[in-house]
Amino acid sequence: MYTNAQVYFFENEKKITVKEELIRFYTDSSTNRSFSRFQEIEANLLPFKSNSLSLSYKNEMLWLKIPLNALHDIDGIKHIMIRNPHINYLQAWYLSGDSLIRSFAATGDHYPFSSRTLNYADFVFPVPMFNRTDVSVLFLIDKRNEQLNIPVHFLTEKGFSSYNRRKNLLAGLMTGMGLFLFLFSFFLFYTMREKLYVYYSLYILMVFFYIFSDYGYSFMYLFPNHPFPADFTRPLAISFASPLYMLFALNLLSVKRNLPVHYKWAIRFLLLYLASLAASLFLMPETGIVRIVLVWLMQIYQNITAVFMLVIAIAAVRKKVPYAGYIIGTSLVLLISFFLFMQFVSGFITDTFLIRNMMNIGFTAEISILAFVLTLRFKKYKEQSEQLLRTTNVQQEQIFKNISDYQQIEMQRYSSLLHDSVGAQLSAIRFNLESIQTNASPEHFQQQMEQSIKDISSLADEVREFSHSISPVLLQKKGLVEAITETIEKVNRSGRLYVQFESIGALQSTSFRYELLMYNIFQELLQNIIKHAEASEAILQLIIEKELIYLFVEDNGRGFNPIFIKEGLGFSQIKQLVTFVKGNLQIDAEVNKGCKVSIEFPVLPDEANHPHSYS
């Protein structure tokens, strides 16, 4: 029965059966809310018992007359409470027979909060202490074109204290949980810098603001003198919560990457939802059929959001997307909560503590599940980060070892060059100087000394070049770009070869070992062009990004057939260096048409300081 399912009676917090044949009601389309109006329609009051009239979404107000002797036990009753803080207009009178013995000021959430008889979120009215056998309480309840539920509590003093203590404890628990989860999500965002956590944080705020408003506390504490916002905090909070949940789930499951078709439809639905919500903000203050349609439309949208995410999550499970099963669970929790709560407010399910808090419990359970998912995700992120760090360390150690091996080979090569070249020149200088002793003529002495000085000067230049090759002092002092630039300027001054150099990228973010590696590769390529290419012009491009290093060299020399690359061209050393860092070497050459060499290799993550996302 609709009326029986929308008006409930409790003694303290225990649901009771009253003498329904004594209770009367009347639905009134008039806007006259005075006691004189009741006197006009009193004869038209209908019996409450077994009446099947629905009270929700009516453009009418309700008169409800409850004789206190409808209770089986009226002793000890101190207060009568309507446990619904969202009634727009409410007024109460006490009658003795047909005589008015006490009236209370009009109140409701369309009036300032100070209009409440007692300072409680719900509507509480003290019961007269004189003879109650002939006393009735008369309520005028006006919540036109909205859902209406009227839980009437007959409270003892102890029961009233117990009810408030229990309600405040539950509200405090949920508020504390909301604050904890919000700070938890903020910590995760600060750690991982993903917008996923922004959506979750905003979703928590909307959900717990809805719960806070549902208990009547937003009107009571935030804007007690401004009734207009109090009328819209709940619907707006819940309306904004749904798209935030959807955006969170889409990001958690990486739907854009894993299910691109589903993602497109989800975005279209979200745009339609937000457009409807924007229209509702302008039209909701209207009463009548427009408001009813908008309320139902937003409720339908909220259910469709949960269904939409359920379908996407099922598709994600089939593709083995991580955490999709949890989204299925949370979507089902929301759908079941929505369904049971709507059955309750529509009058199909009677009032119980669990049912009347079903939405709040559902939201709290769903947010807790999502927090657990984020905890698992963060744990996996940490594990993968540690594994990546271990892998990176192994790679770096291997790189250091390979580079050390390479440098040892190079030092052996330079040692051989020093022995064969520098040693030979020193022997020649010694021979010239010894010849002066055997031939003392001034002409011979002068000639041999000049030749020895030239040989020593040439030898000093060669030793300096060897020194720079073994330990690039210029690189250490001035950095990669300037070291390459100065080296190229020396080559260009010779007049035999002109090299054009371009550098692009955030060079300051690259470590010295990568600069050393590139400098060694550059030297090999440049020496190859000078010694073998017979080129007159060359181009060198260096691009350094956070995760990638790219080097391109092109010359107009005699070229060669890449199939028959000779080891003496220096490419074996270049291949070694590129292989050390898991890079890629490409050679494009043709006889008499020059040569193009492109090299790219990754920068290790810890070197790039680049955040990675883990799913």
DSSP conformation letters of 82-112: E--TT-SEEEEEEEETTEEEEE---BSTTS-
Q: Does 106 have pLDDT greater than 90?
A: yes
Q: Which fold is adopted by the domain 2-155?
A: Immunoglobulin-like (2.60.40)
The residue that leads in pLDDT, 287 or 269, is 269
The mean pLDDT value for 543-559 works out to: 86
Question: What is residue 606's predicted lDDT score, i.e. its pLDDT?
Answer: 46
d(CA 40, CA 137): 17
**H or E element at residue 296:** helix 289-318
| Strand pairing report for 46-47 and 24-28 | antiparallel
* pLDDT tier at 528, thresholds 50, 70, 90: confident
pLDDT at 439: 64
Amino acid identity for residue 26 in this structure: Y
Q: How confident is the model at residue 608 (pLDDT cuts 50, 70, 90)?
A: very low
pLDDT tens digits, one per residue of 226-266: 887 777 788 888 888 889 999 999 999 999 999 999 999 99
Both tokens assigned to 558: 């005699």
* Prediction pTM value: 0.64
The CA distance from 605 to 124, in Å, is: 64
Lookup: tokens for 210 = 């809805």
Q: What is the pLDDT of residue 614?
A: 36
Q: Are strands 123-126 and 79-82 parallel, antiparallel or unpaired?
A: antiparallel
Judged by average pLDDT, the poorest of 67-71, 175-179, 210-214, 514-518 is 514-518
pLDDT (0 to 100) of residue 44: 93
Please tell me the least confidently modeled range out of 289-293, 415-419, 456-460, 497-501: 289-293
* pLDDT value for 352: 76
Q: Are strands 7-11 and 150-155 parallel, antiparallel or unpaired?
A: parallel
Q: Does domain 473-615 have CATH number 3.30.565.10?
A: yes
Q: Is the pLDDT of residue 407 over 80?
A: no
Alpha-helical segments (H) within 319-357: 324-345, 353-356
CA of residue 321 relative to chain centroid, distance: 18
pLDDT in tens, 497-508: 899 998 887 555
Is residue 90 within 8 A of residue 141, CB to CB? The reply is: yes
pLDDT at residue 612 tops 60 = no
Q: Give the H or E element holding residue 136.
A: strand 135-142
Average pLDDT in the chain: 82
Q: Are 517 and 542 in contact (CB under 8 A)?
A: no
How do residues 577-606 score in pLDDT, each as one tens digit?
Answer: 787 777 888 888 888 889 999 998 887 554
Strands in 242-373 per DSSP E: none
What is the number of other CB atoms lying within 10 angstroms of the CB of residue 117? 15
Residue 532 or residue 269, greater confidence: 269
In the chain, what are the domain boundaries? 2-155, 170-386, 387-471, 473-615
